[in-house]
Amino acid sequence: MEVLRRPVIAGVGFTKITAHWKYSLRDLSSEAALKALSDAGNPKIDAIVVGNMMSGIANGQENLGSLVAESIGLSGVPSVKIEAACASGAAAVMWACLGVLSGLFNSVLVVGVEKMTDVTDKEDVSSALATAADYDYEVFFGATFPSLNAIIMRSYAKTYDLAPEDFGHLPILMHKNAVDVPHAQLRFPINMEGYLNSPIISDPLKLFDCAPIGDGAAALVIMRRDRARNSEHLIEIIGFGSATDTLAMYRREDLARLKAAELATKRALSMAGLEPKDFDIVQIHDAFSVIGYLNLEALGIVERGKAHEFIASGDADRSGALPVNPEGGLKARGHPVGATGVYQIAELALQLSDRAGSSQIENPNVGVAMNVGGTGSNVFVHILRRVE
Amino acid sequence: MEVLRRPVIAGVGFTKITAHWKYSLRDLSSEAALKALSDAGNPKIDAIVVGNMMSGIANGQENLGSLVAESIGLSGVPSVKIEAACASGAAAVMWACLGVLSGLFNSVLVVGVEKMTDVTDKEDVSSALATAADYDYEVFFGATFPSLNAIIMRSYAKTYDLAPEDFGHLPILMHKNAVDVPHAQLRFPINMEGYLNSPIISDPLKLFDCAPIGDGAAALVIMRRDRARNSEHLIEIIGFGSATDTLAMYRREDLARLKAAELATKRALSMAGLEPKDFDIVQIHDAFSVIGYLNLEALGIVERGKAHEFIASGDADRSGALPVNPEGGLKARGHPVGATGVYQIAELALQLSDRAGSSQIENPNVGVAMNVGGTGSNVFVHILRRVE
């Protein structure tokens, strides 16, 4: 990438994640977007990219490009929605970066939004989530999104001979991290006993392995580096990569790894010219505990089958050698699906500019975020760096 | 745009549009994509962009980026879905062009696909189409997508004092054009008497003002000009533009014009360095007759309120001074919503390379396509030119 055209994050904004009974898609989007615009010093916006997965089903509303532009007084500005299941947010960020790199847009506003509670339509949220899996070969036969992830968990546990406790370390850390994070959804600690005794959702998946359902929106202002005003908090996006895998799980050779996540990581590292050892902070997609572990392995941070030891060791704590999800991740910060990837990158940008408040870790320079769509069928990795 | 990086269309493919009872999203996508790849000489593909509006609701399937990549043996390649209501297809083309212009992708496969019949879910297609309008301020109160367009038609007819016959000229021409087009959905002629006697859908909108519901997929291989192999049929995309307008119609000052369409046209013309008089062929979005007329006016081809005279004069015929939709347009070629914008551009590319078969017009050099999302809330314009 030509350095002057390189995309930088100039502004960040998001809502609290919760069941927002009184807030619509419009309200959530505009709160996050206006905060990000203000944080960036209200630059002229050349295009908008909305990350969202399920508004058609859950809210009876598509055409979110137009809706979001209008909600912040920017009708007229080019605007589209990008969908890549649970990775819609990071997909929107990546295509916004491509828009900036094209030379045609100096500034692109990214808004990730999802309204999963108080849905207006006949479908329940489980049906909406299941559209991330393969309708013809999985959902038609009764599979739900959690049941598919339970199969992955079972395969992973069997491959590496893991006990139920081994999966508890990640959600326990996530809940611990979220306690003091104002925008987090589940701000209470859990312990191993609570984890082990939490109800089975789909054997062996327990309640505390699963991210909650919630509403939220996050936004970023992404600009060409040479067009962003001088600011204390510009963060460079120095690499990104994405990859797909088969939609249905039965076509994959090995359920105990995420091939698309490995490929996306390789591409992002190659663009950034970095190696996994260069990461100072990591955002992983822990929609289910096992997926969080598979993320750490695909990122090259831990050996395969050893992610639980890494989390248990304390190295992933805020004060550890390589903090993971200091805001609580999908499990405890929350997982409004199409917004999640934008939350991850927004949180990274705040960490890298020492603006993360109570969750701030010490002096990170390079951060990475992994956002996973479907059961690993579409993965996006972004690598961010403090501007020198 | 730097000339060497300029996007060119290297390959084109599409399915017939009809009620494809035996074909799934996968089947339709792969047929169109494989034809386009073959037409382009099977280059390596760096990314895929899928245009689709309603697969979540109509087919219980999101994550189409992954589905389409897998369906053609390209799992691994980065792939996302882009949604902009009925303009999803052209939105996908525009962002594919930005991807090529970014310098990161040498070749992007665009697949527009929609499966509107034999839908698997509880929703009917009317509910799915209504997600293009404003849920909170229109659909919630009982408006359907046709009823909103009927309001536009009424406003336009009143503003210019038009009679019912004035709206018949466009659908009559579209049906005439489609008769000999193999991929068209409605291959039969209609006359003014038939038009005037066709049932009222939502007064004053008649059946023959409305595009049909159908299934189909269209695909393009878009490449950097300097990476596309020498080919007889490369077509340049020399300009594109898009703009949004308010989602709900009640917030617009004038229902008898499409502001976003005017703005998108201005942007595309500015990028191409051309004027409306340079167009040799036009593809308009005639989902409803009045929208087709408003397209012609927004493109600067006719004066406001005069579109019906232009069509009635014969100038828009295949042999006329400025042919419009020689394949029959949305009205008769068909309108599988998320695929339509890709069909329009694919048809233009074939015309500009003298490969349009029975619908071929004489020696066009520059063509334009307008694709409209919602009731004019999101519009995309692409300008194509024969490579010199």
As a whole number, the mean pLDDT across chain B is 96
What's residue B330's pLDDT?
Answer: 98
Q: Are A219 and A259 in contact (CB under 8 A)?
A: no
Q: Which two tokens stand for residue A309?
A: 């030891």
Shortest Cα distance, chain B CAs vs residue A196, angstroms: 33
Shortest Cα distance, chain A CAs vs residue B361, angstroms: 32
Residue A354 burial class via C-beta count within 10 angstroms: exposed 0-12, middle 13-18, buried 19 and up = middle
CATH number given to B6-123+213-224: 3.40.47.10
Q: What distances in angstroms separate CA B303 from CA B241, B294, B314, one per listed residue?
A: 21, 10, 16
Quick: pLDDT tens for B144-164: 999 999 999 999 999 999 999
Beta strands in B267-377 (DSSP E): 281-283, 366-373
Query: Residue B203 pLDDT more than 60?
Result: yes
Active site residue B382: no
| pLDDT, average across residues A150-154 | 98
- Identical fold for domains A3-123+213-227 and A142-210+238-386, yes or no, is yes
Element housing B289 (H / E): helix B289-298
Shortest Cα distance, chain A CAs vs residue B319, angstroms: 35
Quick: pLDDT tens for B89-104: 999 999 999 999 999 9
CB pairs under 8 A between A and B: 221
The pTM for the full model equals 0.98
Quick: pLDDT tens for B371-380: 999 999 999 9
Quick: pLDDT tens for A40-55: 999 999 999 999 999 9
| pLDDT, average across residues A118-129 | 76
Q: Which two tokens stand for residue B377?
A: 């809330």
Using CA coordinates, name the residue in chain A closest to B80: A84
Quick: pLDDT tens for A333-384: 999 999 999 999 999 999 999 999 999 999 999 999 999 999 999 999 999 9
B130 touches chain A (CB under 8 A): yes
Shortest Cα distance, chain B CAs vs residue A341, angstroms: 14
B53 contact residues in A (CB cutoff 8 A): 62
| pLDDT, average across residues B233-254 | 97
Q: Which of B233, B285, B308, B335 is catalytic?
A: B335
A133 contact residues in B (CB cutoff 8 A): 63
Q: If pLDDT is split at 50, 70 and 90, which confidence band does A284 have?
A: very high
Which CATH number is B144-210+238-386's, of 3.30.300.90, 3.40.47.10, 3.20.20.80, 3.55.50.30?
3.40.47.10
Of B62, B246, B378, the CB nearest to A131: B62
Shortest Cα distance, chain B CAs vs residue A344, angstroms: 19
A241 contact residues in B (CB cutoff 8 A): 78
What's residue B2's pLDDT?
Answer: 65
Ranking A83-87, A110-114, A314-318, B224-228 by mean pLDDT, the lowest is B224-228
Q: Are B317 and B178 in contact (CB under 8 A)?
A: no
Continuous H helices in A102-144: 125-130
What's residue A230's pLDDT?
Answer: 67
Of A61, A79, A99, the CB nearest to B98: A99
Please give the share of chain B, as a percent, with pLDDT higher than 90.
Answer: 94
Q: Are B308 and B293 in contact (CB under 8 A)?
A: yes
> What backbone torsions phi and psi does residue A118 show, to the nearest 5 degrees?
55, 45
As a whole number, the mean pLDDT across chain A is 96
Query: Residue A123 pLDDT more than 70?
Result: no
Please give the share of chain B, as a percent, with pLDDT higher than 70.
Answer: 98
A107 touches chain B (CB under 8 A): no
| pLDDT, average across residues B185-201 | 98
What's residue B388's pLDDT?
Answer: 74
Quick: pLDDT tens for A243-267: 999 999 999 999 999 999 999 999 9
B18 touches chain A (CB under 8 A): no
Q: If pLDDT is split at 50, 70 and 90, which confidence band does A122 have?
A: low
Using CA coordinates, name the residue in chain A closest to B79: A244
A243 touches chain B (CB under 8 A): yes
What's residue A118's pLDDT?
Answer: 78
Query: Residue B123 pLDDT more than 90?
Result: no
Query: Residue B122 pLDDT more than 60?
Result: no
Q: Hey, are the CB atoms on A63 and B260 less than 8 Å from each other?
A: no
Quick: pLDDT tens for A21-30: 999 999 999 9
What's residue A388's pLDDT?
Answer: 74
Q: What is the fold of A142-210+238-386?
A: Peroxisomal Thiolase; Chain A, domain 1 (3.40.47)
What's residue B281's pLDDT?
Answer: 98
Alpha-carbon distance of A288 to A132, in angstroms, equals: 15
Q: If pLDDT is split at 50, 70 and 90, which confidence band does A2 have?
A: low
What's residue B120's pLDDT?
Answer: 60
Q: Hey, are the CB atoms on B263 and A76 less than 8 Å from each other?
A: yes
B120 touches chain A (CB under 8 A): yes
Of A81, A120, A131, the CB nearest to B61: A131
Quick: pLDDT tens for B22-53: 999 999 999 999 999 999 999 999 999 999 99
Which residues, at least 6 apart from B158, have a Cβ–Cβ distance to it below 8 Å?
none
Of B26, B56, B247, the CB nearest to A56: B56
Domain A3-123+213-227 bears CATH identifier 3.60.150.10? no
Q: Hey, are the CB atoms on B378 and A136 less than 8 Å from each other?
A: no
Query: DSSP of B151-181, one letter per residue?
Result: HHHHHHHHHHT--GGGGTHHHHHHHHHHTT-
Using CA coordinates, name the residue in chain B closest to A101: B102
Shortest Cα distance, chain B CAs vs residue A92, angstroms: 9
B117 touches chain A (CB under 8 A): no
A118 touches chain B (CB under 8 A): no
- Tokens 């600011």 belong to which residue? A231
> What backbone torsions phi and psi does residue B305 show, to the nearest 5 degrees?
85, 0
Q: Hey, are the CB atoms on A57 and B56 less than 8 Å from each other?
A: yes
Q: Where are the domains of chain B?
A: 6-123+213-224, 144-210+238-386
B93 touches chain A (CB under 8 A): no
Of A54, A99, A242, the CB nearest to B78: A242
What's residue B30's pLDDT?
Answer: 98
Active-site annotation of A, residues = 86, 335
